[in-house]
Structure 1
Amino acid sequence: MSEIVNLNKARKICSRAEKKAVADANAVKHGRSKAERMLDATRDAQARKLLDDHERETE
């Protein structure tokens, strides 16, 4: 015989696991130091400037 499972508890456990996965992803995405954010912003600005400098002038 199989084990009896309370469906409400199983649903809540599954929901908690999904929320934890989303929270972990957000921590990785937004949990950076100020130095890392500044470095990324500087790199983005340099890449944007390099791209803009190579753009052709049109009349």
Structure 2
Amino acid sequence: MTVPEFIPVSQETYNEIAELKGPERTFDEFLADLVERAKKQQLERDTEAVLTRNRFGEV
């Protein structure tokens, strides 16, 4: 499903994203990959924070 929304970016940012995504992927695929990577990084940071505090929830 597509959403008829526009995300304004500078020409420089657009060009950098286009270069990073390459010709084999759509912008949607590229952005979805970025979102997944960001989620994984956040989970890793959260997990590391819990391990650093050495505190776990009740089981």
TM above 0.5, yes or no, is no
TM-score by length of 1: 0.45
Q: Which has the higher contact order (CA 8 A, sep 6+)?
A: 2
**Greater fraction of residues in helix:** 1
TM-score by length of 2: 0.45
| Structure with greater Cα Rg | 1
